[in-house]
Amino acid sequence: MKLLKKSNFHGGIHPADGSDKILSNQQPIRILNPETVEISMKQSAGSVCKAIVKEGDQVSLGQLIAESSGFGSANIHASISGKVTEIRKTKDEQSNEVEVVVIQSSENMVDHTTSKTMAYQNRILDISGITKEEIITSMKEGGLIGLGGAGFPTHVKYETPKPIKYVLINAAECEPYLTCDHRLMLEYGYEILNGIQLLIKAAGAKMAYLCLEDNKEDAANHLQQLLEGQDLPVELVLLHTKYPQGGERQLVDAVIKKEIPAGSLPADIGVIINNVGTAKAMADIMFTKTPLIARCITVTGKVKNPGNFYVPIGTPYATLIHEAGGFTTKNNRVIIGGPMTGNSIMIGGELTHLEGSVSKTSSGLLVLEDYSLIESPCIRCGECERVCPAGLAPFKIDFAAIEDNINLCEKLYATECISCGSCSYVCPANRELAYRITVAKTEIFNLRREKGGKR
Ligand code: SF4
Ligand code: SF4
């Protein structure tokens, strides 16, 4: 195993001491088969699909219910068998109308992930009979998107005309509290390694680096054991625990010592990056002929029994919190994702008021004790600049954003912000830096799109 002693990306912070992860990483993943799923036709930031089923239809597990409708979107499938009882409309964060397909279960979900009866779940397979084209077609038809958060359709990355040398498998899971990738590596090792060899072949790459932080040494040792004696071009890399180690640029910087130039993609320097959960999903799609219909999610924080759950896409968040024993605080703040980059979806409400459901990109459902912070004027301490992994001056961009000076935000490279939240975390004046910079960044991209320029 390769051990990189220093992750040499600029900036970064240590927002937690590890006790946050212990809440959920000690217990095996629990399987949950809900009676109802509510599948949003928006499964990632850039994609809104239209349902091709109607109320009253019977659908079977894995049946296509919405087709990819453009560059950033991917097919969506029924995650349980049953009857479509409702197709309702809701608003997304940008107030766009989005459909939600509600399916009432008619039978128990057939779980192909836990029975461990298939060859790819028990050994490294010979994939010489599978072509690159077959793998990419499986990704596309199976609705595979990045499970790490951004949710970009995976096949688009692999259709690049650029020569790819390395696949980087991102298993850093640097966000505090989240442990779903950690548990996947401990419990689904062969699925992950078979998925990685499919991704290497799809990319035409030389090899893959599987990158973990050193707070997951047990998972690294387990995978290393599975790799022993195998002729697989996969190398494990153990990186120091530092946030945001899992940022694409930070990972490339730390592992292959290259910089992704501003405005470029990893493919421009011969790299494709995928989350470790995406690698497992790749193997599930290829070897079970079942599309992406389920994922692992961490449910943690102020709940009675924190842990990780393997659930169909569309499982209501309220069902998950209920299964985790319910809230242990009335003063709750419910967050989708982790505390650094996640979005609050409810503050101080009852479980019956909690809306929303698991999407392909939902890695965590976190309940924290809510407290309000009051912003005060910037004291020019420079801390935000010191920790920014993108090398930005967050306080300067923040001033420009407050004055609505988008041109200045652009000149200060707001578009290079990775929305990691490190600046806000360290700011002694509690300034909402990451939020305002992210809003400015989105506005710059929208303006560029309107002008027909590239992102
Ligand atoms: S400016 Fe962006 S990249 Fe830099 S610390 Fe803040 S959120 Fe992270
Ligand atoms: S950390 Fe906060 S107070 Fe310090 S320079 Fe940045 S914005 Fe100002």
Which ligand is nearest to the Cα of residue 379, counting in written order? 2
Which ligand is nearest to the Cα of residue 431, counting in written order? 2
The answer to whether 219 touches 185, Cβ cutoff 8 Å, is: yes
Mean pLDDT of 39-66: 91
Q: Where are the domains of the chain?
A: 2-27+114-288, 34-110, 383-450
Q: What is the pLDDT of residues 101-112, one digit of tens each?
A: 999 998 655 554
| Residue 304, CB-side half-sphere exposure with 13 Å CA sphere | 8
Cα 3 to ligand 1 centroid, rounded to whole Å: 27
Q: Please tell me the predicted confidence (pLDDT) of residue 110.
A: 52
Q: Is the pLDDT of residue 238 over 90?
A: yes
Q: Which of 13, 381, 402, 433 to mutate to test the pocket of ligand 2 (most atoms within 8 A of CB)?
A: 381
Closest C-alpha residue for ligand 2 atom 7? 395
163 vs 46, more confident: 163
Q: Which of 376, 422, 427 to mutate to test the pocket of ligand 2 (most atoms within 8 A of CB)?
A: 427
Q: Please tell me the predicted confidence (pLDDT) of residue 112.
A: 45
Q: What is the pLDDT of residues 23-47, one digit of tens each?
A: 999 999 999 999 999 999 998 766 7
Q: Is the pLDDT of residue 5 over 50?
A: yes
| Distances 181 to 38, 78, 174, 208 between C-alpha atoms, Å | 24, 24, 10, 17
Nearest in space to 366 (alpha carbons), one of 16, 14, 11: 16
Q: Please tell me the predicted confidence (pLDDT) of residue 68.
A: 85
Mean pLDDT of 13-20: 92
Closest ligand 1 atom number to CA of residue 244: 8
Using DSSP's 3-state secondary structure scheme, residue 170 falls into: strand
Q: Which of 431, 432, 433, 436 to mutate to test the pocket of ligand 2 (most atoms within 8 A of CB)?
A: 431
Cα 433 to ligand 2 centroid, rounded to whole Å: 9
Q: What is the pLDDT of residues 407-429, one digit of tens each?
A: 999 999 999 999 999 999 999 99
Does ligand 1 lie within 6 Å of residue 421's CB atom? Answer: yes
Cα 395 to ligand 1 centroid, rounded to whole Å: 10
Cα 391 to ligand 1 centroid, rounded to whole Å: 8
Q: Please tell me the predicted confidence (pLDDT) of residue 9.
A: 82
The answer to whether 334 touches 317, Cβ cutoff 8 Å, is: yes
Q: Please tell me the predicted confidence (pLDDT) of residue 377.
A: 96
The answer to whether 273 touches 265, Cβ cutoff 8 Å, is: no
The residues, ordered by sequence, that sit 6+ positions from 161 with a Cβ below 8 Å of its Cβ are: none
CB under 6 Å to ligand 2: residues? Answer: 378-384, 394-395, 426-429, 431, 433
CATH number listed for the domain at residues 2-27+114-288: 3.40.50.11540
Q: What is the pLDDT of residues 380-398, one digit of tens each?
A: 999 999 999 999 999 999 9
The secondary element (H helix, E strand) that includes residue 410 is helix 406-411
Cα 348 to ligand 1 centroid, rounded to whole Å: 28
| Distances 37 to 78, 115, 357 between C-alpha atoms, Å | 9, 22, 8
Q: ∠ CA 124-128-129 to the nearest 5 degrees?
A: 115
Does ligand 1 lie within 6 Å of residue 288's CB atom? Answer: no
CA distance 90 to 133: 37
Cα 287 to ligand 1 centroid, rounded to whole Å: 40
Closest C-alpha residue for ligand 1 atom 5? 388
Q: Is the pLDDT of residue 351 over 50?
A: yes
Which ligand is nearest to the Cα of residue 436, counting in written order? 1
Q: Is the pLDDT of residue 439 over 70?
A: yes
Q: What is the pLDDT of residues 171-194, one digit of tens each?
A: 999 999 999 999 999 999 999 999
Q: Please tell me the predicted confidence (pLDDT) of residue 262.
A: 84
Q: Is the peptide bond before 244 cis (omega within 30 degrees of 0)?
A: yes
Mean pLDDT of 137-148: 95
Q: Is the pLDDT of residue 114 over 60?
A: no
- Phi and psi at 145, nearest 5°, equal -130, 170
Q: Please tell me the predicted confidence (pLDDT) of residue 106.
A: 86
Closest C-alpha residue for ligand 1 atom 2? 417
Type of residue numbered 290: T
* pLDDT category of residue 48 using cuts at 50, 70 and 90: confident
Q: Please tell me the predicted confidence (pLDDT) of residue 450.
A: 82
Q: Look-up: residue for tokens 């707001």?
A: 414
Q: What is the pLDDT of residues 251-273, one digit of tens each?
A: 999 999 999 998 899 999 999 99
Q: Please tell me the predicted confidence (pLDDT) of residue 322.
A: 97
Give the class (CATH, top level) of 34-110.
Answer: mainly beta
Q: What is the pLDDT of residues 367-379, one digit of tens each?
A: 999 887 899 999 9
CA distance 40 to 100: 4
| Distances 303 to 279, 306, 368 between C-alpha atoms, Å | 29, 6, 9
Q: Is the pLDDT of residue 93 over 80?
A: no
Q: Please tell me the predicted confidence (pLDDT) of residue 1.
A: 64
Mean pLDDT of 124-149: 96
Q: Is the pLDDT of residue 3 over 80?
A: no
Q: Please tell me the predicted confidence (pLDDT) of residue 97.
A: 84
* Mean pLDDT of all residues belonging to the chain: 92
Q: Please tell me the predicted confidence (pLDDT) of residue 194.
A: 98
Closest ligand 1 atom number to CA of residue 384: 5
